[in-house]
Amino acid sequence: MSESRWAGGSPAVLGLLGDVSGVPVNDLLAEMVHATQGQSFLEWQRYRLAAELDTQLVGEEILTDYRMIDSTALCATRIATVLSIGQVSAEGLLARAVALRDRLPQVLLCLRDGKVAPQHIRTIVSRTDLITDPQIAATVDREISECLRRRGSWSTNRLRDMVDRIVYTHDPDAVRQRREAAKDARAFWTENDADGMGVVGASMTAENTLLLAQRVHAAADHVCVNDPRTKAARRSDALVALTTGATWECLCGDPDCTAATGWDTTTTSGQATTAMIHVVTDPTTLTTDHGGRPGFLPGYGVVSPDHIRDLAERPDTVIRPVPTSAPAAQPADPYRPSTALARFMWMRDQYCVWPGCDQPAMRCDADHVTEYDHTNPERGGQTTADNMNSKCPFHHGVKTFTEFLDDQTIDDHGHPATTVTTPEGLTVDGPAHTGYDLHPQLDHIEFTAPPNGPPPPAPEQPTRRRPRLEDKHARRRHERECNRRAGDDDDECVPPPF
C-alpha cells in the first residue's frame, strides 16, 4: 500500500486546528465536534467508493451468479485485502454501502453532513433491512433523515427508537417477520473462559430479559456495605443463586448481618420473585387485531404493536389507563412530584435528558430544572411538568453541585426543549426524540398546581471517602501486592471494597 496522504499534512489544510496548546476550552470542544463531523464525512466517502466498486464489479451479475465465491464476495475480498480487515467485515461494509445507495440515499447525505455518527449507520441499515417496497423505503428514508436533521442531540437508544418507530409505522409486516425470526432463534449457551471461568448466555424476549435483570439486580443490592464483592461480581453470584435455589448471602463475614434476609431463592413468593415491567401503548393498539401504533418498553425501547398485544394477553398483565388530569405534587408536599407526574415524565422523557445519556427515565431522578426554593417556595422552581425532567443520578449531581447549567423551555408545540450549558458557556441541545414522537396523546394530559406545604431540607452534595486519584493509587497498590503474592496458594488476595 502507498504511504498515508494524511500523516505529513498540516491540520490547517483540512480546516483543523494545528497547535492546540492553550486554546480556550470551548474552542477545543468545538474542534472535537468538527473532527467528529469529519469522521462522518470520510465514512460517507468510504461508502460512496464501496458502492461504486459494487457497480463496476458486481452490478446485475448478482441476479445470475450462482458461484459460492461470487462477484459480491470477490468485490468484498478486494476491500478486505486493501483495508486489512476480515472478509465478513468487508462484506458488511459493502452491504451497507449498497443499502445506503439504493434504499437510504437521504440518510447517506445526513452522514455526509455530519448529522449522524458512523456507528449509528449500522443501526439504521440493519433495522430497515426487511423493507422491500420501494415506496415504503423512500418514505422511511425521508422520515429518518428529517429526524436526523432536527435540532437536538441523539443517543444510541434514542436513535434506535426513532428508527423503530418509523419502520413499525410504515411496514409492520417487516417488523413482524423480524420479531418472529428472533423469537424462533432464542437460545441458551455456555462456553469456557480463561482462568477457570465460564460464560453463560441466553437470548429471550425483551420482557423476560427485564424481569430476569430486575430479580438479579434486586438480590445483588441486598448486601451490606462491607460485602467485599464488586457490583458485577454480586450480580453474577445472584444469578447463580436464583437459578440453582441456593440461599443468597452477604459475604461481609459478620454473623449478625441481616442485609440479605428475606431473599430466599428457593421460594416461589415474596421479595425474591417480585419483579414488574411497564409498557406504554396507545389504547387503540389493544383493541385491534392488526396495525396500531408501536409502544415503548422502558429499559428496552420501542416494540411493535403485535408485541404489545402479546404482552397484554399475558395472565399476569395489569392494564391501567393513564388519567388525563392529575395532581402535580404529593399531597401536602409541594416539592415531590406525584406518582402521576413521575409516571408522565418517564413516558415523556424515556431516558435521561442529558445529551447522549441512555439511562432509562424509570431509573432517573425527577429534577426541578429551575431549582426549588426551599426557603421561599412561592418564588419559583415549582413542581410542574414544564419545570421538571428526568436526570440519572450522575447528571442530576452534575447539574446540582457543579457549574453546569440546564434549561427547559416550551416550544411552539407545547413540548419541553432542554439545553445543557458547560461551565465555559457552551450550550448543547437536549434530546431530538422524546415520548411525544411515539405517543402524541401525551399532549392531552394536564396537571393541577402543587399545594402549599412545608418542603424537605435542601440536598447536600455527596462526597467520596477519599479523592479519585487516591482511589486509583490504592487500587494499583492492591493489584501490585496481589501480583507479588500470585504464587502463594495460602494467601488469597480478596479485592477490597474500593
Q: What is the pLDDT of residues 234-263, one digit of tens each?
A: 888 888 888 877 888 888 888 888 887 766
Weakest mean pLDDT among 26-35, 192-201, 282-291, 422-431: 192-201
- Ranges of beta strands (E only) in 154-312 are 187-192, 198-203, 295-297, 301-303
C-alpha pair distances (Å), 207 with each of 212, 269, 291, 301: 9, 20, 21, 11
C-alpha pair distances (Å), 460 with each of 320, 363, 380, 457: 37, 21, 20, 9
Burial of 437 (0-12, 13-18, 19+ CB in 10 A): buried
Distance (Å, whole) CA 453 – CA 117: 48
pLDDT value for 483: 55
Residue 412 predicted with pLDDT over 50:
yes
* Cβ atoms < 10 Å from Cβ of 438: 25
Q: Give the mean pLDDT of the chain.
A: 83
And the C-alpha cell for 171? 411496514
pLDDT band at 270 (very low <50, low <70, confident <90, very high): very low
Distance (Å, whole) CA 466 – CA 455: 32
Please write the tens of the pLDDT for every residue from 30-80.
Answer: 999 999 999 999 999 999 999 999 999 987 776 777 777 888 889 999 999
Residue 21 predicted with pLDDT over 60:
yes
pLDDT value for 59: 74
pLDDT value for 467: 66
Q: Is the CB of residue 264 less than 8 Å from the CB of residue 244?
A: no
Please write the tens of the pLDDT for every residue from 36-50.
Answer: 999 999 999 999 999
The letter for the amino acid at 186 is R
Distance (Å, whole) CA 281 – CA 303: 10
pLDDT band at 264 (very low <50, low <70, confident <90, very high): low
Please write the tens of the pLDDT for every residue from 115-130.
Answer: 999 999 999 999 998 8
pLDDT band at 311 (very low <50, low <70, confident <90, very high): confident
C-alpha pair distances (Å), 261 with each of 1, 224, 235, 492: 65, 11, 17, 28
* Grid cell 415491567 in the structure block, residue: 277
pLDDT value for 475: 56
Residue 231 predicted with pLDDT over 70:
yes
Distance (Å, whole) CA 361 – CA 118: 26
The letter for the amino acid at 86 is G
pLDDT value for 269: 41
Count the alpha carbons within 13 Å of 304 in the hemisphere toward its beta carbon. Answer: 21
Find residue 428's DSSP bridge partners.
420
Distance (Å, whole) CA 37 – CA 67: 40
- DSSP state at residue 477: H
Which among 310, 309, 317, 312 has a CA at the least distance from the CA of 292? Answer: 309
List b or e across 80-96, with b for residues whose CB sees 16 or more CB atoms inside 10 angstroms: beeeeeeeeebbbbbbb
Residue 272 predicted with pLDDT over 50:
no
Distance (Å, whole) CA 418 – CA 369: 9
Q: Write down the pTM of the prediction.
A: 0.76
Q: Rounded to 5, what percent of the chain is helix, strand, coil?
A: 45, 10, 40
Please write the tens of the pLDDT for every residue from 124-151.
Answer: 999 998 888 999 999 999 999 999 999 9
Query: β-strands 329-330, 446-448: how paired?
Result: unpaired
Residues of the chain above pLDDT 70, percent: 85
Please write the tens of the pLDDT for every residue from 352-409.
Answer: 999 999 999 998 999 999 888 877 777 778 889 999 999 999 999 999 888 999 999 9
Distance (Å, whole) CA 385 – CA 477: 49
